[in-house]
Amino acid sequence: MIPVTESTDPALVELDAWSPARILEALWEGQLAAVRAVGPALAALEHAADAAVPLLAAGGRLVYVGAGTSGRIGVQDGAELNPTFNWPAEQLVLMMAGGEAALLNAVENAEDRAEQARSEIAAHRIETGDVMIGIAASGATPYTLAAVESARAAGALTIAIANSPGSALLEAAAYPVLLDTGPEPIAGSTRLKAGTAQKVALNLLSTLLMVRLGRVYRGQMVDMQARNEKLRRRALRMVCMLGECSGAAAAAALAATGGQVKPALLVLRGLSAEAADRALIESGGSLRLALK
């Protein structure tokens, strides 16, 4: 049986003969349906996060693995965690079938290389305490499936995100997340509905993980790295708002903490920069707990 993502939607078989306006409307409706498909998976995402948070808090790595569109979506989600939440580079592994070259160009047969995936799991020393997210629309991609199976055998916590019910990837992972997006408007083109649903689900999951790990406070990305002028202005605004202080006081606190928002807010409460760092370590990185 072919994956549902490879099947044809009977309502759209004449799509290429339609007017541009009608084609766009059909594609747009498919995108809306893709977002709705994430709703039934919220509980599964929550359960996966519940299991992952203590492992990541203890120093475990977050590993993304995929091929083609799914792999690129996973890499994008993972790559944004460091600048947005200051997620440590040493706690992030991005596995893409075909390597970095496949991010911009299709690499022939890369997704079929199951043995390559197993070798990469061994090379990265994926083990107990690590958290892997495997993404595949069909749920049958050999590279992704082999990576998840090998990681689970090595003791890692495994999460699978797939768009085909009953697929092998969902069965292989400890925490399966089904995004039942059905047939694509163009059969097999999973950059459409499946890809959109995967992007939404990964956004939700990774953001929930970062919130639970204390990297968000009062709706602000307080662990953000202020690497350019725009972000330095944002850090100043955050400290002014959250610390209820003047710009001059916020600037002084940020200067004392190397531009870091969380310790700067504790400095405003009267702590030294060193004491602020210690308070955050003792609170597990939670600004809310440290402020108490």
pLDDT digits (tens, 9 = 90+) for 191-246: 999 999 999 999 999 999 999 999 999 999 999 988 899 999 999 999 999 999 99
Token look-up 């499936």 returns: 145
Has residue 186 been placed in a domain?
yes
193 with 282, same domain: the answer is no
Cβ–Cβ under 8 Å, residues 265 and 237:
no
- How far apart are alpha carbons 19 and 3 in whole angstroms? 29
pLDDT given at position 22: 97
The confidence band for 108, taking pLDDT boundaries of 50, 70 and 90, is: confident
Could you give the number of structural domains in the chain? 2
- How far apart are alpha carbons 238 and 220 in whole angstroms? 7
242 with 165, same domain: the answer is no
- How far apart are alpha carbons 180 and 277 in whole angstroms? 45
Last residue of a domain, one of 181, 212, 243: 212
Over residues 105-118, the mean pLDDT reads 91
What the block records as the tokens of 53 is 């948070």
Which range marks the domain in which residue 261 is found?
Answer: 229-291
Cβ–Cβ under 8 Å, residues 157 and 127:
no
33 with 111, same domain: the answer is yes
Has residue 196 been placed in a domain?
yes
pLDDT given at position 265: 97
pLDDT given at position 3: 87
130 with 198, same domain: the answer is yes
Pick the more confident residue, 133 or 8: 133
pLDDT given at position 292: 87
Q: CATH no. for residue 267?
A: 1.10.8.1080
pLDDT given at position 212: 96
Q: CATH no. for residue 136?
A: 3.40.50.10490
The confidence band for 16, taking pLDDT boundaries of 50, 70 and 90, is: very high
155 with 236, same domain: the answer is no
The confidence band for 272, taking pLDDT boundaries of 50, 70 and 90, is: very high
pLDDT given at position 95: 97
Has residue 217 been placed in a domain?
no
Over residues 251-268, the mean pLDDT reads 96
Arithmetic mean of pLDDT over the chain: 96
176 with 45, same domain: the answer is yes
278 with 172, same domain: the answer is no
Last residue of a domain, one of 212, 242, 272: 212
Over residues 21-30, the mean pLDDT reads 97
- How far apart are alpha carbons 245 and 251 in whole angstroms? 10
Task: Return the minimum-mean-pLDDT range out of 53-62, 88-97, 221-230.
Answer: 221-230
Helix axes 20-36, 193-212, angle to 10 degrees: 40
Has residue 110 been placed in a domain?
yes
The confidence band for 80, taking pLDDT boundaries of 50, 70 and 90, is: very high
Cβ–Cβ under 8 Å, residues 89 and 95:
no
pLDDT at 1 over 80: no
Has residue 172 been placed in a domain?
yes
71 with 136, same domain: the answer is yes
pLDDT given at position 109: 87
The confidence band for 75, taking pLDDT boundaries of 50, 70 and 90, is: very high
- How far apart are alpha carbons 291 and 283 in whole angstroms? 9
Over residues 146-167, the mean pLDDT reads 98
- How far apart are alpha carbons 8 and 11 in whole angstroms? 9
pLDDT at 159 over 80: yes
Cβ–Cβ under 8 Å, residues 268 and 253:
yes
Has residue 224 been placed in a domain?
no
254 with 170, same domain: the answer is no
35 with 89, same domain: the answer is yes
156 with 246, same domain: the answer is no
Task: Indicate which residues carry an active-site annotation.
Answer: 80, 111
Query: Is residue 51 packed enough to be buried (19+ CB in 10 Å), middle (13-18) or exposed (0-12)?
Result: middle
The confidence band for 164, taking pLDDT boundaries of 50, 70 and 90, is: very high
201 with 248, same domain: the answer is no
Q: Which sign does the torsion angle of CA 137, 143, 145, 147 carry?
A: negative
